[in-house]
Structure 1
Amino acid sequence: MPTSTTAAVARAGADDFTWEPLVLDDPGPGEALIRLIATGLCHTDLSVLAGNLPTPLPAVLGHEGAGIVEAVGPGTTGVRAGDRVVMSFNSCGSCTRCRTGQPTRCSTFFPRNFGAARPDGSTPVHTADGEPVGGLFFGQSSLARHAVVSVHSLVPVEVADDRELALLAPIGCGVQTGAGTVLNLLKPGPGDTLAVFGAGAVGLSAVMAAQLSGVSEVVVADRVASRLTTASELGATHTINTAIDDLGESLAYLTGGHGVTYIVETTGVPALLELAVTAISTAGTVAVIGAPAAGSRASFDINALIDGRTIRGVTEGGSDRITFIPALIDLFRQGRLPYDQFVEFYPADQLTQAVQDARSGRTIKPLIVFDDHDSEAGR
């Protein structure tokens, strides 16, 4: 039977999400019905809401969900009713890259994650009047009390209670992306230096991962002083307040003019990507994570790349979510990846406040919780 639920809908031209009553179809093959416990709010959600990324609207967004499986579709394997799950990105599960542990390089990654629809163009979400609403954003559309989710986006987990499950939600995208960029792709070592542009959830996750890798220096740049304080608490050796200091000059001073070995660019500001290319050392690498508005361009001196400098695009930290997410959970439980220091809980009826706090930089990772007993906001 179809499921009636409530979801935060993004509509074209709107400045905020609106909670609306919706109807979910029964899960189809390869899908599961999930009751959400919590969902992280990500800047990608806000970019889609602003019309900067080409996801068709109206749609239910949200791609850092955690919840409980209530039902599975015909022939669906890997999860069953009652399982606790963390939700992550979607992939086809059958192409060569998916079958060899590289699902972020899936040949259909973009439409499966940003298309807000099944591969055949249908959506399991609609209004009571039958108006289609985009679903399966990143295979999940988890800014909702219930969601029909692709099984390829689900990672079963063992947890003590619902509050612990809620805290695992940000691992599905933000934490995985930042940590994976460092641990899976850049793989810095002793003597290397790493700079992070942007002290959001992704950037701070990169900082924590850098501490695990043994780099000699970690530099974090941001315009919000409180975020730089958090970066220092999580292991940054130097911080640069770009509202006060010149970023290029500061990096040159800190490195003696030799450049940084690795830069993780999370802001999506083209001018900062251009600067990053000039600020890395010979054979250094810029990891590009931040997503600006569709069609944005950056320019750089091509000759700067001839000596081995690299610009590398990153999706979800280059992760195999089935193995990497459990590894990150273990690190979190050991206290070696303490991302809970920058998570703040918001009950569902405070979603508008969470959006405002994310935009202003006051809150690094808002976590929307759906159970009443978890509704007290606080770090």
Structure 2
Amino acid sequence: MPTTTAAVVEAAGAGFTLGEVALDDLRDGEVRVRIAATGICHTDLGVAAGALPFPLPGVLGHEGAGIVEEVGAAVTRVAPGDRVLLSYTSCGGCANCRDGHPAYCATWLPANLLGGRRPDGTSPISRDGTPLGGHFFGQSSFAGHAIADERSVVKLAADAPLDLLAPLGCGVMTGAGAVWNALAPRPGATLLVTGAGAVGLSAVMAARLTPATRIVAVDRVAARLGLARELGATDTIDTTTQDLAGTIGELTGGRGVDGVVETTGNAEVLRTAIGTLAARGTAVVVGAPPFGTEVPVDVNFLLPGRHVTGLTMGDAEIQALVPTLAGLVASGRFPLAKLVTHYESGQIQQAVDDMLAGRTIKPVLRW
């Protein structure tokens, strides 16, 4: 049974501790990947804090990138030596998977976020003979090696820069998918992006590649708003000094915006953003507040064709969207490097602290 170093969360709020774990034998549809880099996402931090009932002690991480070392007997998409990026898993057989929307798989929550086990009830990770919470997003890639579902694995080019592309598997894909898959802006559209973190700035970069002509970024940190302008925002709103609804009214002559990407998870921001929608506009809810959060909306406000829709993982079919994003990064049209700060794996707690303090936008661990 192979061993590797992993960042283990012992209990809710305990942080990350590096230690040796054992990897199980591969199932037929699994791949063992030597991890080169893993992005850190707010979802990892929320689970580590105990906000979701993932079984702990456990290994998180769901933006992995690495090199395939071994494949199960039924794996056909990749082979040893391939460079790959890891994303979420799905069953492949339910109605939404068959319809090209695996982010809404019937098994999504237990298979990715809450279960901590394979579908057969086993964990691919153990320590001293005791199973740990694993299979996080079908990968648990806060480790030197990960066992991933084949459906989580996307093959990359042989020269792909793994420590740059790792965040494509969740945060970047979510922001880009919100724009391309959910909003699909018409020529001349005005888009509003609330929150200039990794997801929001990815939405800004994606919007710049559409026919939208006005892209408004909102945040409370001036440096992030400056970066948003550099990445394609035509306007920015600093809510420490500006009123969101009033400023949108001024910018649009009272018409409102055609699309919103809400990434903050703040209920009041979402409520205000919905109120800025023009007739036939759509608000895409990406940021996740605590379970049970409600946002009141005047039903009559929705009748002129306004929509509010939730979004998971950018509604992305990863085998299609991830290689497209990787190609755009390689060509310079999607400047992902401007978001990324690299840390060595032993600096994981420093990376988390910097992320929570706003000193870095997208920390990426090198293993």
- Say whether 1:132 aligns with 2:131: yes
Residue deviations 1:143-167 (CA, integer Å, cap 9, x gap): 1111111110000111326xx1221
Kindly tell me: are residues 11 and 252 of structure 1, through their superposed partners in 2, closer, same or farther at Cα, counting changes over 3 Å?
farther
Q: Provide the identity percentage.
A: 50
Per the alignment, do residues 233 and 70 of structure 1 end up closer, same or farther by CA in structure 2, a change over 3 Å counting? same
SS of 2:209's partner is: helix
Q: Hey, what's the Cα distance between the residues in 1 that align with 2:167 and 2:252?
A: 33
Amino acid of the structure 2 residue aligned with 1:330: G
Q: State the alpha-carbon separation in 1 of the partners of residues 323 and 170 from structure 2.
A: 13
- Where in structure 2 are the equivalents of 1:85-124 lying within 5 Å? 85-114=84-113, 115-124=115-124
Shift of 1:285: 0.6
Distance 1:23 1:299 in 2: 48
Q: Does 1:24 align with 2:23?
A: yes
* Distance in 1 of aligned mates of 2:320 and 2:275: 35
Query: 1:249 deviation in Å?
Result: 1.7
- The 5 Å alignment of 1:1-379 reads 2-114=1-113, 115-128=115-128, 130-160=129-159, 164-370=161-367
Worse-superposed segment, 330-339 or 97-106: 97-106
| Per-residue deviation, 1:119 | 1.4
CA distance in 2, matches of 1:253, 1:319: 34
Amino acid at match of 1:339: L
Residue 96 of structure 1: how far off its partner (Å)? 3.0
TM-superposition CA deviations, 1:105-164 (whole Å, max 9, x none): 211111111122111222111112x22211110111101111111110000111326xx1
CA RMSD between the two structures = 1.3
Secondary structure class of the residue paired with 2:327: helix
Rounded Cα–Cα distance in structure 2 between residues aligned with 1:362 and 1:195:
24
Give the Å deviation of 1:204: 0.6
**1:55 Cα shift?**
2.3
| Residue 219 to residue 349, structure 1, CA distance change in 2 (3 Å) | same
Q: Which amino acid aligns with 2:126?
A: H
Q: Distance in 1 between matches of 2:101 and 2:142?
A: 27
Partner SS for 1:155:
strand
**Runs of 4 or more off by more than 3 Å in structure 1?**
none
| Separation (CA, whole Å) in 2 of partners of 1:209 and 1:254 | 21
Q: Decide whether the 8 Å contact of 2:12 with 2:56 is kept in 1.
A: no
Aligned residue pair count: 366
**Aligned amino acid, residue 29 of structure 2:** G
Residue matched to 1:373: none
- Distance in 2, Cα, partners of 1:204 & 1:90: 25
CA contact (8 A) 1:285 1:309 kept: yes
Indicate conservation of the 8 Å contact 1:54/1:294, yes or no. no
Distance in 1, matches of 2:284 and 2:248, equals 17
Structure 1 runs not aligned, ≥5 long: 371-379
Cα shift at 1:57: 2.2
Please give the alpha-carbon distance, in whole angstroms, between the structure 2 residues aligned to 1:344 and 1:104: 28
Q: Quick check: 210-219 or 45-54, which moved more?
A: 45-54
**Is the contact between residue 82 and residue 158 of structure 2 (CA under 8 Å) also seen in structure 1?**
no
**Given the two structures, how large is their TM-score scaled by the length of structure 2?**
0.97
Residue 15 of structure 1, CA deviation: 4.3
